[in-house]
Amino acid sequence: MVKRLFIALHVPTDVISYIEAAQQQVKQELRAERWQPLHNLHLTLHFLGDVDEQKIPELKKDIQIVSSIIRPFSLSIDHFGSFPKGGKPRVLWLGLQGNIESLQQMHLLLGKRLDRHESLPYDKRPYEPHVTIARKPKLHQELSLPLADWSHRFLPHPKPSWKVEGITLFQSELRPEGAIHTPLFTSLLGETTNL
């Protein structure tokens, strides 16, 4: 059986509340084909796509190996951004600040582990850490998103920070009412048990 999988970091409740307030402000300035439901907010490390469920034990092992190398670190919400950069935006997101070096290292190490699997269809585009808040945003009048202005107006200080303490393998089920993300496995950072 095939499952749609991705590897990501949890976003804690207090940060989700902050993001919700920012999302509500932005909703007054633009429409979007779909707003990201708050219960689905996460920070993707690698989108794997459709994977044979027999590979899940190997993926868990890969996640455990990487999580044993990386120590807990801090991140915080920083600014608005969009994909693609320049041109008509398809995704509106929130960028991060904090220990981005550890986050990049985590992404790189996971990628090296994933490369060992034959026929694993994971996304290999350059990594831009972000939390998606809307898809296919449409401004009422302007041609481009006023990202710097929104960052200043809608992301008040103090911006919440959180400690990243684990890596999670998620299953994503596509349904008519939107995707449902279910955590399948979490490995805590800095732990070498069960290796």
Which residues pair with residue 7 across a beta bridge? 46, 169
**Spatial distance between the Cα atoms of 139 and 141, rounded to a whole number of angstroms:** 6
Whether residue 79 lies in the annotated active site:
no
Instruction: Please give the full DSSP string across 35-56, using - where no structure is assigned.
Output: EPPGGG-EEEEEEEEEEEGGGH
Q: How far apart are CA 114 and CA 77, in angstroms?
A: 28
In the chain, beta strands by DSSP E:
2-10, 30-35, 42-52, 73-83, 91-98, 131-139, 161-164, 166-173, 180-188
From 79, 107, 117, 130, active-site residue: 130
Active site residue: 42, 46, 107, 140, which one?
Answer: 42
CA dist 102 → 16, 77, 149, 172 (Å): 22, 16, 29, 26
Is there a contact between 45 and 110 (Cβ–Cβ < 8 Å)?
A: yes
Would you call 39 a catalytic residue per the annotation?
A: no
Give the active site residues: 42, 130
